[in-house]
Amino acid sequence: MMLQLDNVTKVYKVGAFGGKTFAAVDGVSFDVRSGEVVSLIGESGSGKSTIGKMILGLTSITAGSITVDGVPVKAAKEYYRHVQGVFQDPFSCYNPVFKADRVFQLIKESYYPQVSAAEWDGRVRSAIEDVRLDPGQVLGRYPHQLSGGQLQRLLIARALLLDIKLLVADEITSMLDASTRIDVLNLLAELKERGLGVLYVTHDLSLGNYLAERTVVLRNGTVVEMGLTDKVFGDPLHPYTRKLLAAVPRLNAPWEDAEPTDTCHYHAGGASGALFEADAGHFVACARFDGCPR
C-alpha cells in the first residue's frame, strides 16, 4: 500500500460572501507506506485535519493529487473498504439513540450482506478482542455507557472489519487520559505490525515520536521539514521544528531572536519554499538552506 500526496493544495472560500480565498494546505507532498506510521505534526490551524479530510474524500482537493496504490481518492464504497479514518471525538461518531455496536451492523449491511449473522457476530467479537476490549463488556451498550477510550477502540475495531490498508488517525488520543492514550498508541503500533499504513495526525510531538518512523512537520499549510523521526527530532534543521521541540520556553529571549533571521524561509515571511534534501531522506524548507549558519 502506498498513499501518495503530490503537491496537494486546498483553498477555502472565506469572507462574508465567499469572496476571499485562503490556502489551508499549499503544495504538500509526502507518502505513507504499508507497515509504517507517519506522523503529521503541526500547531492548531496548520492544515493537518484538512489533509486528513482530503485523504478520506470528505473535502475536495483544490489542486494536486492524492492516490492510494495509484487510485485517486474517491468518496466511494470500494475506497473506504481500504481507507478509513478515526477522529478526535469518539462520541460524535456515534448516534446516542442507538447502541454503540450499531456501527458494526452498518458495516455488515453495506459491505458484507452475504455473511451470516452468526459468522458476523464471530468477526465482530474477534475485532473487538483485537483492540483489547472484552466483547461482553462493550456489546449491547449505549455510547454514554462507554468511555472515550472504549468508543475510540470500537471505531478502530470497526475499521478492522474492513480490509483496510490505511488508517488516518486524527488527534485520536487527545481526549483520552494518559494510560488509555498509551493503550491506543500501542494498538496503532500493532496495526502497523500487521502491515497497515497509519497517518497519525497530532499536535503533540511526544506522541508522534513514540510511534512514527517518519515525521512530517506542517506549518501554515506547508511542509517545513520531514524525514525519519530520529532525524527530524534528533537533528531538527528548521527553526520552526526547533521551536516546536523546545520543551522549555526561553523566558527572556523570544526564540525568533535566538535563531538566524535572514537566511531562513520561515523568518523571511513564510512564502512557500522548496524542500531541500539536507540529508538522505531528510527534507527541510529553506529558501537558502545551503547558506544557513545553523
Ligand X SMILES: Nc1ncnc2c1ncn2[C@@H]1O[C@H](COP(=O)(O)OP(=O)(O)OP(=O)(O)O)[C@@H](O)[C@H]1O
Strands 197-202 and 37-41 turn out to be: parallel
27 in contact with ligand X (CB under 6 A): no
- Segment interacting with ligand X (CB under 6 A) among 46-54, 61-69, 140-148, 207-215: 46-54
Residue 14 binds ligand X, judged by CB under 6 A: yes
What whole-number distance in Å separates Cα of residue 185 and Cα of residue 256?
34
C-alpha to C-alpha distance for 108 and 291, rounded to whole angstroms? 58
Q: Name which position in 21, 45, 255, 261 contacts ligand X (CB under 6 A).
A: 45
Pairing of the two strands 166-170 and 214-219: unpaired
CB of 45 to ligand X, least distance (A): 4
> Is there binding between residue 219 and ligand X (CB under 6 A)?
no
For the bound state, the minimum distance from the C-beta of residue 20 to ligand X, rounded and expressed in Å, comes to 10
According to CB under 6 A, which one of 153, 158, 203, 282 is a site residue for ligand X? 203
Residue 187, helix vs strand vs coil? helix
Q: Is 12 a residue that touches ligand X (CB under 6 A)?
A: yes
CA distance linking residue 48 with residue 35, whole number of Å: 21
Residue of 9, 49, 173, 272 interacting with ligand X (CB under 6 A): 49
Helix extents (H) in the chain: 48-55, 77-82, 102-111, 117-130, 135-138, 148-161, 178-193, 205-211, 229-234, 239-245, 255-258
Q: From the list 16, 44, 117, 193, which residue makes contact with ligand X (rule: CB under 6 A)?
A: 44
Q: Which is nearer to ligand X, 53 or 231 (CB)?
A: 53
State in angstroms the smallest separation of the CB of 129 from ligand X: 32
